[in-house]
A and B are shown apart, each in its own frame.
Chain A
Amino acid sequence: MSLNIALHAGLSGVLTHQKQVEVTGNNIANVNTPGYSRQTLSVSPGKALNINGLLLGQGVDAETVNREYDKFVSGQLVEQGDMLGHEEAKSSPLAEIERIMGIGEDSLASEIEGFFGAWHDLSANPGGSVERDQVIYKGENLLNSFSQLESGLVDVRRNINDSLNAEVNGINLKLQKVAELNASIKDKQSLGHVANRDLDERDVVIKELSEILGMQTFETGQGQVGLQLPGGVPLVQGNRAMEFEGYYEGGNLQVQIRSGDVVLETDRTNFGGKFRGLMELRDQFIPELEQDLDDLRHGIVTNVNAQHEAGYDLDGNTGRSFFTRPASAQSETGFADPVALALDTGDIEINGSTITIDAQNNSLYGIRDAINDSDAGVIASVVHDGTDHHLDLTPKTRGADVESDFSQISDFIDEDTDGDFFDAAGSEQISVAIDSTDQVAAAGFPEGAPGDNVNAMAIHELNSSKLINGDQTFVDAYGRIAATVGTETRRNTMAREGAADTMDQLENLRESMVGVSLEQEMINLTLFQRGFEASSRFVQTIDEMMGTLIGLKR
């Protein structure tokens, strides 16, 4: 009987080597499949039979096809995917913002310089209609440049919303896929199979999800994996996946996560990866830039207006704004003579600052200058409504409140009015308010003589005064904005390159542990082929031996 047993042993060798060759062939076929883990056939010696006191091995048993797997590296890949997705998502919007916030010869800084340069030129020839025209034209140019920057940033935000929106469907498919794979792996394992393909595929999907959303994984038994956002919101549990829903609120795409009837609102802090990166730009970085630009424009508009209102045009008119006025507080009481030292003396309080008016400065102009010398956070100017002069207080920050107490200066209290300052509605869209060259207030003396350049000089000098936050000129302020963009872009480039490097190294590490090496497989192929050949030869030998035995009978 032992020859029969030997024949079986030979057969197991032939079959096992054939399986080995098949597994090797499969490895070679998948050499370029992303996420593929090299598979090996685990084999063990066949059970030994006790034959007449001799323990004889019964060939070889092929047990299971295993995949090589390193849990640590796989976990690292998911984590690094979060980082890489985060920085990569930021890079193209930042490149666009960088293009908008240029520093070349045609940047906003040059437009600011051009506008104040026009006032400088006007001061050389204050009566010239060409120079006056240039001031208006350059003012319009300056405002246009601001609008262009703003609409550029709005475009970037819209593109970010579009790319977020485009991801939502893909995310749902991927979450669904993970849930399905979880179910399939559980089924296969319960039947005693190893679901190598499903495991590999799930790893790939989770890594992709991590780049988009940032992902935390945890094993829940029976080969299943749970997924949750970095903030702890569960996305996949067993074979159930939550659903992402995008909706627009205030022009921005927001995401809510739905599981049956339970709906969870999210913001950028819930996410990692691409979503976090894009939402940080959209909700934090870009709004800050917009605010800074807005503050800069507000600073230019209010300071130029205040100085322009103090000057005289060619017809001797004063109190005219150069740009349309932002929201401000204006005195209800008007005064015919802004120079007369005829008002009450006493203390004025504005935004908590006390300004003392004495017999030296108890005129409308005196009060204006005293307020401007204080740190009340407003720019005071005297505007002319056609008949009377009114005191105007424009907050240095657009839209800020102006709390004022003029109770000690009784002149501001009129029988017809409640004595208070009223909120003058400002114009949302800032434009150049004057429409003829004669209205440019270049003169500093009431005659408005054509050769009077005093106010043009004063407006030109605003450009070299530190009027933004008290420590920056207008051009400085733009430089600071551009530097913020430059620094962030630079940081992003370095972080992105670093993350990509780390990712490459991790991929290589994974590859070196579980990847397919053609050399290794080819050598194994030869090995298994020889094993197959030897096993076949063994079967042939046994066959010959059996033939010899049968021949004995003849």
Chain B
Amino acid sequence: MKSTLAMNYRMLSSNLERSSNRLYDLRQQAATGKQMNRPSDNPSGIRPVLDYRVKTQAAERSLNQMSMAQGEMEVLDSSLDQVENILVAAKETGIAAISGAANEADRQTYADKIGQLREELLQAANTQNGGKYMYAGYSESTVPFRTVDDGTEDWDVEYDGDGHAKTVDIGTGNQVQVALPGNELFLGDYDNDGITDADGENLFAALKDFEAAIRNNDKAAMNNGLETLEESADQVRRLRGRMGNNAWRIERASEQLNGAAIEFEKILSSYEDADALEVFSQLVQQETAFEAALNVTTRISKLSILDFMR
């Protein structure tokens, strides 16, 4: 057995090649900051990486949608506040009209006031937010409440929207309602069959009846009307409470998703990102090894038997 020059150079060149390949890998990791640049870098990590990347993107989108929904619900809440105020104002007017101090002229004024409130209610019911009718269900481009002339000076309303409520996804499969269809809120018609349900109140009808009662000075009807108005306000408050609860759920879900998204990023990073400190220390180590290999190469070429045979 002998060791020839060719053996030494072959050994050196394969070591130099391996060393420089490793250096390239480390430099790439340091430059990109990622330890997974190709599928072969960590085949078993591919599925989690893709999975968490998709989850992170989906979470971002969901968070966006939820914050949009929260904005819409704030608008909805202030609109509901307005509706409630109209009903409260109507009730106050009614109490004044019912009191013995009111004379015929006062009552007509009060009745006119109720009529104006009803106009206001119609405007509120046809409110738009961002060009969409808030109380039209899915038919957001349709004016939901249409006045119908019933032959008298007063009008009735008919609902042209639909009974669906827009929802937002607050996590896989969980939908939260973020809008109120007008048939529920204003007509108490939960099944949207055009007839007010037994346990619901038609706000427009309540005001119209109350106005007529004041005009006719029908005490019994006025008392009844007051009760109906109270129930109508309750209906608004109940739905408003439900939407408030939904807003709270969205808020909670949004906080949770935010936390989860950070967690997803962390997991993603643990697979994908290179540990800068480790990469740099390995880089220094590998550079030293490479330098040593180069050193040996020059040493071998300096040493020759020819120098000793003169």
Name A residues whose Cβ lies closer than 8 Å to a Cβ of B: 31-32, 98-99, 101-105, 107, 109-110, 113, 117, 120-121, 123-124, 127, 443, 445, 447, 449-453, 457, 461, 463-464, 475-476, 478-480, 482-483, 485-487, 489-490, 493, 497, 500-501, 504, 507-508, 511-513, 515-520, 522-523, 526
Contact = CB atoms under 8 A, between A and B. Distances in A.
A450 B3 contact: no
A103 B46 contact: yes
B309 A526 contact: yes
A447 B163 CA distance: 12
Question: 9 tightest CB-CB pairs across the interface, nearest first?
Answer: A486-B39, A486-B43, A449-B138, A489-B40, A451-B140, A451-B138, A479-B47, A452-B138, A487-B43
Nearest to A492: B40
Interface string B35-74: 0111111111011011101100110011011001100000
Contacts of B137: 449, 451
Contacts of B41: 486
A449 B53 contact: no
A101 B2 contact: no
B164 A449 contact: yes
Contacts of A452: 138, 164
Contact of A504 (B11, B42, B57, B306): B11
B43 A512 contact: no
Q: Is the interface of A mostly helix, strand, loop or mixed?
A: helix
B166 interface: yes
Contacts of A457: 169, 175
Contacts of B57: 110, 113, 117
A482 B43 CA distance: 8
A462 to B, nearest CB: 12
Interface residues of B, number: 56
- Counting chain A CB atoms within 10 Å of each CB, the highest count among B39, B41, B57, B173 belongs to B39
A445 B164 contact: yes
B68 A124 contact: yes
B111 to A, nearest CB: 37
Contacts of A508: 7, 10-11
A107 B46 CA distance: 12
B295 interface: no
Interface string B126-137: 000000100011
Given A443-B138, A447-B139, A449-B137, A482 B164 contact: no
23 contacts: A102-B39, A107-B50, A117-B58, A121-B65, A123-B169, A451-B136, A452-B164, A453-B167, A461-B173, A475-B51, A476-B50, A479-B47, A482-B46, A482-B50, A486-B39, A493-B40, A507-B10, A508-B7, A513-B1, A515-B2, A515-B6, A517-B2, A518-B305
A124 B168 contact: yes
Contacts, number: 165
Contact of A483 (B7, B46, B65): B46
Interface of B: 1-7, 10-11, 14, 18, 36-44, 46-47, 49-51, 53-54, 57-58, 61-62, 64-65, 68-69, 132, 136-142, 162, 164, 166-169, 172-173, 175, 304-306, 309
Contacts of B40: 98, 485-487, 489-490, 493
Given A452-B138, A508-B11, A518-B305, A486 B38 contact: yes
A31 B5 CA distance: 9
Nearest to B17: A500
Contacts of A105: 53
B265 to A, nearest CB: 14
Given A447-B162, A486-B39, A512 B61 contact: no
Contacts of A31: 5-6
A365 B253 CA distance: 35
B172 A464 contact: yes
A94 to B, nearest CB: 8
B280 to A, nearest CB: 23
A476 B7 contact: no
Contacts of B141: 127, 450-451
Nearest to B49: A103
Contact of B43 (A113, A490, A522): A490
B174 to A, nearest CB: 12
B3 to A, nearest CB: 6
Q: Which of A105, A107, A523 has the most chain B CB atoms inside 10 A of its CB?
A: A107
A489 B46 CA distance: 14
Residue in A121, A451, A461, A508 whose Cβ sees the most chain B Cβ within 10 Å: A451
B47 A120 contact: no
Contacts of A104: 37
Given A447-B138, A507-B10, A512 B1 contact: yes
A120 B54 CA distance: 13
B77 to A, nearest CB: 19
B139 A451 contact: yes
A109 B139 contact: no
A338 B61 CA distance: 35
Contact of A121 (B47, B61, B164, B167): B61
A124 B41 CA distance: 38
Which of B61, B137, B162, B175 gathers the greatest number of chain A CB atoms within 10 Å? B61
Contacts of B7: 507-508, 511-512, 515
A113 B164 contact: no
A344 to B, nearest CB: 32
Contacts of B168: 124
A511 B6 contact: yes
A478 B138 contact: no
A480 B47 contact: yes
Given A449-B142, A461-B172, 13 more contacts: A110-B57, A120-B61, A124-B65, A124-B68, A449-B138, A451-B132, A451-B137, A452-B138, A480-B47, A485-B39, A486-B42, A512-B7, A522-B305
A473 to B, nearest CB: 8
Contacts of B37: 104
Contacts of A478: 50
A512 B46 contact: no
A507 B57 CA distance: 54
A476 B36 CA distance: 17
Nearest to B44: A483
B183 to A, nearest CB: 14
Q: Which of B65, B142, B164, B168 has the most CB of A within 10 A?
A: B164
